[in-house]
Amino acid sequence: MSDDQFPGWHGTTIMGVKKDGVVVIAGDGQVSLGQTVIKGSARKVRRLSPGGYDVVSGFAGSTADAFTLLERLEAKLEATPGQLARASVELAKDWRTDKYLQKLEAMLIVSDGEDIFVITGAGDVLEPEHDVTAIGSGGNYALAAGRALMDTDLSAEEVACKAMAIASDICVYTNGNLTVETIKK
């Protein structure tokens, strides 16, 4: 099939919320091919522990590509234990300049409980404004809902879960089957 005939994989909304010293990364479980839900319970949020330091990550995009990037991130974190910002920048530099990595189609949200970053193949390491970020098909819906909920008395986990529920009501490529990981510094 040519690229214009192939319906394409869609699905996933990942969001990160930092509030009151707690960071939550939540991800839905949907993977779609065209108009068909292929899987509703995929796990796209993971806890890593390179060098004994906990890091939580979530990914949107190709699963194989994301796992390749997570392995590279773990290696960077083992080389620079406890320095998520440095490891993230090193990964983004490699991703931008390495011919093999340039072909990878995924985005990552990572946190060590203190910082939260979005890492992209364009060489970006973005620290979100307003302590909320989201990626994936329903990312903009989750981001808007999360930002609106930040001024409430809800905890970081409650903000993430409620924002993800709103995104799943709006985006056909997002479901309510969440994986939620919490990390504190």
Q: Which residues are annotated as catalytic?
A: 12
Q: How far apart are CA 106 and CA 62, in angstroms?
A: 6
Straight-line distance from the first to the last Cα atom of the chain, in angstroms, rounded to the nearest whole number? 48
Q: How far apart are CA 30 and CA 177, in angstroms?
A: 8
What's phi and psi for 171, nearest 5 deg? -95, 125
- Paired with 161 in beta bridges are none
What's the length of the chain?
185
Q: How far apart are CA 74 and CA 51, in angstroms?
A: 9
Q: Token pair of 44, please?
A: 């796209």
Q: How far apart are CA 17 and CA 113, in angstroms?
A: 10
